[in-house]
């Protein structure tokens, strides 16, 4: 259902470097880019993640209550990507760990522009 998710940035070069390094941890690569946006995916036929300079030329802002969730296949990769995001300058919004008793395992952070993301997987209980 979801084709891609896009977040705005006020420092395009810095955001591109951040996401190149972070998304490489899950095997994602750039598959489309123009002067004002970059898209990453594990496979261009699947949902992608994008950054953009806002079309209206105004400052990018963070949506209150908006979050992008990136799925991976193991809790070890959740831990690794959360740590990588923090090492790249992201702000912690919730350490990796189980949430509730459904097998949902996630770590939360805000990227360099303040966009909230989570890396998650489903683990066996």
Q: How confident is the model at residue 1 (pLDDT cuts 50, 70, 90)?
A: low
User: Once rounded to an integer, what is the mean pLDDT over residues 44-52?
Assistant: 92
Phi-psi region of 83 (alpha: psi -120 to 50; beta: other; left: phi over 0): alpha
Q: Are strands 68-71 and 29-33 parallel, antiparallel or unpaired?
A: unpaired
Of residues 124 and 123, the one with the higher pLDDT is: 123
Q: How many domains does the chain have?
A: 1
- CB count within 10 Å of CB 112 equals 18
Q: What confidence score (pLDDT) does residue 64 get?
A: 80
Task: Note down the domain range covering 96.
Answer: 4-56+66-122
In a domain, 61, yes or no: no
Supply φ then ψ for residue 94, to 5 degrees.
Answer: 150, 115
Cα gap 7→18, rounded to integer Å: 13
**Is 25 a member of any domain?**
yes
Residue 88 lies in a domain: yes
Which pLDDT band, with edges at 50, 70 and 90, does 44 fall under? confident
pTM of the model: 0.88
């Amino acid at each position: 259902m979801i084709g891609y998710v896009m977040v705005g940035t006020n420092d395009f070069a810095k955001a591109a470097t951040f996401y190149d390094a972070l998304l490489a941890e899950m095997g994602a690569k750039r598959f489309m880019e123009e002067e004002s946006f970059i898209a990453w995916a594990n496979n261009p036929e699947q949902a992608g993640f994008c950054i953009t300079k806002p079309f209206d030329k105004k400052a990018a802002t963070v949506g209150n209550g908006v979050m992008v969730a990136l799925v991976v296949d193991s809790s070890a990769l959740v831990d690794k990507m959360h740590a990588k995001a923090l090492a790249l300058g992201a702000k912690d919004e919730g350490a990796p760990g189980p949430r509730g008793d459904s097998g949902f395992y996630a770590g939360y952070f805000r990227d360099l522009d303040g966009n909230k993301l989570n890396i998650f997987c489903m683990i066996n209980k």
